[in-house]
A and B are shown apart, each in its own frame.
Chain A
Amino acid sequence: MIAARPVGVSFGSRQVLADVSFDVPSGQFLCIIGPSGCGKTTLLRVLAGLIAPTSGEVTADGKAVRGPARSRAIVFQDYTKALLPWRTVAGNVALGLEACRVAEPQKSRRIEELLSKMGLGHCAGQYPAQLSGGMQQRVQIARALGQDPQLLLMDEPFGALDAITRQGLQDEVARIAAEQKTTVVFITHDLEEAIYLGDQVIVLAAAPGTGAGRIAERITVEIPRPRSQLETREDPRFLAYRHRLFGLLKH
C-alpha cells in the first residue's frame, strides 16, 4: 500500500503542493487528474522518491520513501527523452534487467517475455527512432515492468499519442496491471481516461491565492472490470462521474 500523509512541497517560497493525503491499496489503480501546473508531476516525483516532500511523508507498505528505488518504476511522458536512442528495443528493455543484475540466460528469456507481452516481439532489433510514438511508449512500459515494480508511476504516458493508439494502450495497461497485481498511479489531463482506467480518481486543483495544488475531489469508480472502450464509456455511471468531475477541471 502506498500512502501520502499530508504531503506538502515548496520550491523556495513557492508552494506547489499543499496537504495532499491519500491511500492506494495494493493492486489498485489510482488516476490523478488536474489542469496543467497544479503539481501533478511534482506529486509523481515525490511518490517516486526523486523529490523529498517539504512536509509530510510518503510510505510504501508502511516504510517511509527516502529516495528512488527499483520497486517504484516510472514511465515518463516524453518517450523521446526516456529511451536510449543508441540501444535497440531489446537493449532498452535490457537496461532495467542489467541494473537488477539479472544474468544470462534468464536475461534473454525475460526480455523476450516482456517484448511479447507488450507486442514488441517483431521489432526487438530496431532503434527507438524507427518506431512510432505508441511503440516507443510500449518499450518504456516493457522496461518498467522488467524491474518488477510494486508501484508503477505513469506521468501522462499517452498524452502525446493519437486517440486510437491511446485507447489500445489504455486497455493494455489495464490488463497488465490486473495480471501482475501492480499498484499504479497514473497521471493524466484527460478526464475520460482517468475514469476509464481508475479504481480511484483524485482531482488536483490550484488553491485560490497560493496556487498550490491540493485535492479538490476524489471518487471511487465502481464500474466492474474488464472495461470496454465502447460500453464502459456509454455506461450511465461513467457519464455521471464525468459530469461530476467536469466542472472542477474548468477554470
Chain B
Amino acid sequence: MRRVLPAVLFAAALIGLWQLAAELKLINPIFFPSPGRTFGELYMQVTSGRLWQPLGATALRMLYGWLLACGLGIALGAAIGSSRTAREYLEPLLDFLRPLPASAIIPVAILFLGLSPAMSTAVIAFGSLWPVLLAAVHGLKNTEPQLVELCETLEMRRSQVLAKVALPGALPDILSGVRVSLAIALILAVVTEMQASLPGLGQNILLAQRSFRSPELYAGIVVLGIMGFLVNNGLLLAERRLLRWRSAAV
C-alpha cells in the first residue's frame, strides 16, 4: 500500500492542477472541462449503464485482434526460430512488412473487408503481431545450446523439443512481447473505430469531439486509460504466476 501512495498523491496533484486551470478558465471551457464535469459525466455513464456497450465493443475488438496476433506470432515465431528453411523463406518478407504503419493498411483492409468488425480485427492483428513475433523469434533463437544437445542425446522429436524445452525457455520473451502487443491492439481498436464508424469508445470520443461535448470526450479518454492500465496489470499478474520459477531464487 505504501508503495502506491506516492503515485496516487502525484495523480491527485495533477487533477488538482487541472481543476485549477479549469476554474481560472485558462483554456476555453468548451474545449477543456473541469475534472468535476468530466468525472460527473463518467459517473452518469456508469450509473445509467450507457458506458458498458461501447466499452464491451472496444474491449472485444481489442481482444479478438490481439488473440489472433498472439496465435499467429507464436506459431510463426516458432517456425522461424526453430527452422532455418522457414527463416530463409519468411524473414525477409516479414522485415519488409514490419515497418509498415498499421494505419496505412486500413484503407486496404476496408477495400477487402468493408467497414466491418472483420476489417478491424485484421488491422489490429496485423499491427500487434510484430512485438509477439519478434519476441518469439528472439526467444527461440536463444535456446540454450546445451539444452539442445541434451534433447539430441535424449532423441527427442522436434515437436517435443519445441513443447518441452524451446517454447518454455522463450516464454519470458514471449510474455513481454504479448504485453506490448496488447497496448498496440487497444490503440488500433480505437483507430479503426474512428476510421470505419464502428461502435465503441473510439467512435464515441470522435462523435463527442465533433459535437463539442467535451466532458464526454474526456470521460472517454479516462475510460481508455483505465482500461489500458487494468489489462496491462492483469497481464503482469499472469506473467508473474507463469514465471514464478524466476523469483524462486535462494
Hey, which bits of chain A sit against chain B, CB under 8 A? 48-50, 67-70, 72-74, 76, 78, 81-82, 84-87, 95-96, 98-100, 126-127, 129-130, 147
Contacts and interface: CB of A to CB of B under 8 A. Distances in A.
Nearest 4 interchain pairs by C-beta: A99-B154, A68-B152, A127-B248, A68-B153
B144 interface: yes
Contacts of A96: 154
Contacts of A84: 147, 164-165, 168-169
Overall SS of chain A's interface: loop
Contacts of B150: 74, 76, 82
Contacts of A49: 153
Nearest to A79: B146
A242 B119 CA distance: 77
A130 B164 CA distance: 21
B88 interface: no
B156 interface: yes
B248 A129 contact: yes
A70 B154 contact: yes
A128 to B, nearest CB: 8
Contacts, number: 67
Most buried by B among A72, A85, A126: A85
B233 interface: no
Given A74-B153, A86-B168, 8 more contacts: A68-B152, A72-B153, A81-B144, A82-B147, A96-B154, A99-B151, A100-B154, A129-B248
Contacts of B160: 98-99
Interface in B122-163: 144, 146-147, 149-156, 160
A100 B154 CA distance: 8
Contacts of B156: 99
Contacts of B243: 86
Contacts of B152: 50, 67-68
A85 B169 CA distance: 8
A82 B146 contact: yes
A99 B159 CA distance: 12
A85 to B, nearest CB: 6
Contact of A78 (B146, B153, B169): B146
Given A81-B144, A98-B164, A74 B149 contact: yes
A6 to B, nearest CB: 24
Given A81-B144, A98-B164, A130 B250 contact: yes
A50 B249 CA distance: 32
B248 A76 contact: no
A85 B245 contact: yes
A98 B246 CA distance: 24
B231 interface: no
A37 B147 CA distance: 23
B171 interface: yes
B155 A130 contact: no
A84 B170 CA distance: 12
Contacts of B248: 126-127, 129-130
The CB with the most chain B CB atoms within 10 A, among A48, A68, A147, is that of A68
Nearest to B243: A86
A20 to B, nearest CB: 21
Contacts of A126: 248
Contacts of B165: 84
5 contacts: A74-B153, A84-B147, A85-B246, A86-B168, A98-B160
Contacts of B147: 81-82, 84
Contacts of B144: 81
Contact of B155 (A70, A81, A86): A70
Nearest to B145: A81
A73 B153 contact: yes
B238 to A, nearest CB: 15
Contacts of B246: 85, 129
B250 A95 contact: no
A126 B169 CA distance: 18
Contacts of A130: 248-250
B164 A127 contact: no
Contact of B250 (A70, A74, A86, A129): A129
B245 A129 contact: yes
